[in-house]
Amino acid sequence: MSDEVIRQRVAHYNRMLAEELPDDPPYIGEDWVRRMRNLPSTSRLHVWALHDDGGIAAQAVLSWAELASNRHSAGVHVSVEPGLRRRGIGTRLLTLAVAEARKVHRPLLLAHSSDRLPAGRHFLERAGFKPGLATHLNQLVLERLDRQLLKRWMAAAPERAGDYAVELWDGPVPEERLAAYAGLSNVMNSAPRGELNVEDTLTTPNMIRESEAYLFSDGSRRLIACARHKPTGALAGFTVLLWNPQRAALVWQGDTGVVEAHRNKGLGRWLKAANMEALLVRNAAARFVRTGNADSNAPMLAINREMGFAPLLAETMWQARAATIVRRLPPPSTAADDAPALPEGVPNRCAVA
């Protein structure tokens, strides 16, 4: 995939972003170029892009990770700009992606939709997808953050968690903590999955380092607050905050997890308070913090609501068997190099990267 194609994809995503979240800062093309050149070695990505005179106007993306688990599934995402919708373009692009998924023996496809773009839900339903997990993108407006609440959480921590210490890491995971942190990351396998047919993923030290190369390639920052059990030295829980300095107003709350044996000691609140305090020192431009939560994840939602997170948009994770989608969609072209047939008047140039 050339640098220019990547930039055109970013321009397309920015037009889609302006429809869904019009107040967000745009994605930065050169950042995406750098990240695409630093994809983890397990990443697999196929893109079908429909071009018009202004660049890419629609695309389908099929992606997965070559790991020991979840070898039966792949993610699929189809995006069509408003002026070209309801003309069969999304259907043609999805047909190509599904054909490739069957070719590489990934019979289960996972997708998502947002209530800000209801056309996406209707498209997936027509194609045979079924809802698997209801989630929300929740947002904290930092000017409304109760700093005294954070101080109370941190002050109360020693009473319930006196055997623990919190470490703050700005940047890569320290080498001496890498193996333990990789093991700790596997606590995320306990996050709600709803009806999604997905398996546990085993995180390894190499996966951590490759994900860091991808993340930091565009200058992004990451703060990790990690709880350590002092008597044993075991890592007990963690939480992650990320942002790109060129889009510094928007911060993402990444994974948060506490190992079951160390729960009900206030570690989740302590970790989130400590990391938030560190963020406010290191990123003065931060205005919003966003995080995705399953609607069924009551413990995490309770902490986030207490902090001031509120729903920004509703999202649904979907799944469908490739065979089911094939029965719903027109067959793909029999000629490997042919572009999909499109309605009259639509540019018929489909690039595969």
Residue 208 pLDDT? 98
Query: What tens digit of pLDDT does each residue of 131-187 get?
Result: 999 999 999 999 999 999 999 999 998 889 999 999 999 999 999 999 999 999 999
- CB proximity list for 265: less than 8 A, separation 6 or greater: 160, 161, 164
CATH number of the structural domain spanning residue 278: 3.40.630.30
Could you tell me if 320 and 302 lie in one domain? Answer: no
Residue 336 within any structural domain of the chain? yes
Band (331; pLDDT cuts 50, 70, 90): low
Could you tell me if 158 and 278 lie in one domain? Answer: yes
Q: How far is CA 252 from CA 247, 291, 302, in A?
A: 11, 6, 18
Residue 292 within any structural domain of the chain? yes
Residue 332 pLDDT? 54
Could you tell me if 60 and 199 lie in one domain? Answer: no
Residue 141 within any structural domain of the chain? no
Residue 53 pLDDT? 80
Distance CA(149)–CA(152), nearest Å, equals 5
The total number of structural domains in the chain stands at 2
The pLDDT mean for the chain works out to 93
Residue 174 within any structural domain of the chain? yes
Higher pLDDT, 45 or 350: 45
Whether the Cβ atoms of residue 249 and residue 285 lie closer than 8 Å to each other: yes
> Which amino acid is present at 231?
P
Range of the domain at 240: 146-307
Closest CA to 226 of 171, 169, 277, 266: 169
Query: What tens digit of pLDDT does each residue of 220-277 get?
Result: 999 999 999 999 999 999 999 999 999 999 999 999 999 999 999 999 999 999 999 9
